[in-house]
Amino acid sequence: MTRQLSQQEIDAVFENLQGRHAEKTNTKRAIPFDFRRPDRIAKSQLRAIHQLHDNFVRNLVSSLSAYLRSYVIVNLVSVEQLSYSEFLECLPSPTCIASLSLKPYDGNAVLELNSSLIFPILEILLGGDGKLQFNSQREVTEIEQVLLDGLFRLILRDLQEAWRFVTNIDFTIDTVETEPQFLQILAPTEAVVAVAIEIRIGDSIGMMNIAMPSIIIKMMRQKFDQQWSLRKSAPTVEEERRMLELVQGSCVKSDAVLSGPKLLMRDLMNLQEGDVLSFEYPVTKPLNLILNGELKYRGDLVSAGRRAAIRVLGEA
């Protein structure tokens, strides 16, 4: 049975096809999800962590310099999110790696110091200058770990002080290992925030690496947001009153300046006793009152008993 389609029937077929095509384009396409990838945290929170450890680095410079009595340079290299297995693969072997408890939070962080830093520090602590060349391929002995106890306490004290801006965390050492693969405190696929810090002591350069579980940092998201909002908010009346009380006792240098014309250096060098230097300054023109090097007020010259004084007329 053959029959020719009318123009209306042909148009109806094309309209149905276009409608189906529009429905397909409007539907959301599925995106494959890898359950092994790290659980990401917000970029704003990552920037806050970067700033937090930047403050930690600045405090650590002065603390290490005083502790070792040596010139120390500390630089924050990177703050990024990795899986725990990727973090361990980036560490040298052997090394000095410690598991940190994070009271009152459940979980552990990791602190690692390269052997290229450990042995020069040990030499300095034992009275040397830290300039000898060391074999960094051997493990740290138990006696050397005891000598490093003060160094770790100093680092954890500054780290705790830096995190106090967000929350109070008691960083304490649980265990110390010499091989990264022995410290399996987290699942290999668990996400961590890895902080890489470069330390230079004399001619020795090494890295200090810190890993914080992302799940614990995500639990602190509200605390990060609260601190950020407090920093951005305007000062209250009580804060302004307190600041005023703090600065009321400060000293301010004041200078009343009578501005005159420019003078050539040769004329200045040729001045002699009895010469008259004309300022060409009208009597009615106000003087400039400068506070701490900045022009603040204008006033006129008056007498206060037997002394000259300046009467403030208003702001400049």
283-296 per-position pLDDT tens digit: 778 888 888 888 88
pLDDT (0 to 100) of residue 40: 67
Cα–Cα distance, 115 to 273 (Å, whole number):
73
Cα–Cα distance, 286 to 262 (Å, whole number):
19
Conformational region of residue 166, where left means phi above 0, alpha means psi within -120 to 50, and beta covers everything else: alpha
- Torsion on CA atoms 284, 285, 289, 290, rounded to nearest 10: -160
pLDDT (0 to 100) of residue 116: 86
pLDDT (0 to 100) of residue 127: 84
Cα–Cα distance, 107 to 193 (Å, whole number):
14
pLDDT (0 to 100) of residue 135: 60
Distant-in-sequence, close-in-space partners of 315: CB < 8 Å, separation ≥ 6: 296, 297, 298
Question: What are the start and end residues of each CATH 3.40.1550.10 domain in the chain?
Answer: 43-232
Stated as kind and residue range, the H or E segment containing 151 is helix 149-163
Write the secondary structure of 234-255 as one string of H (helix), E (strand) and C (coil): CCCHHHHHHHHHHHCCCCCCEE
Low-confidence ranges of the chain (pLDDT < 70): 1-5, 14, 17-40, 132-136, 225-235
Looking at domain 43-232, its CATH class is alpha beta
Q: What are phi and psi of 30, to 5 degrees?
A: -75, 140
Cα–Cα distance, 183 to 89 (Å, whole number):
12
Distant-in-sequence, close-in-space partners of 123: CB < 8 Å, separation ≥ 6: 129, 130, 132, 134
pLDDT (0 to 100) of residue 3: 59
pTM, full prediction:
0.60
The answer to whether 194 and 207 are in contact (CB under 8 A) is no
Cα–Cα distance, 57 to 78 (Å, whole number):
12
Q: What is the DSSP letter of 140?
A: P
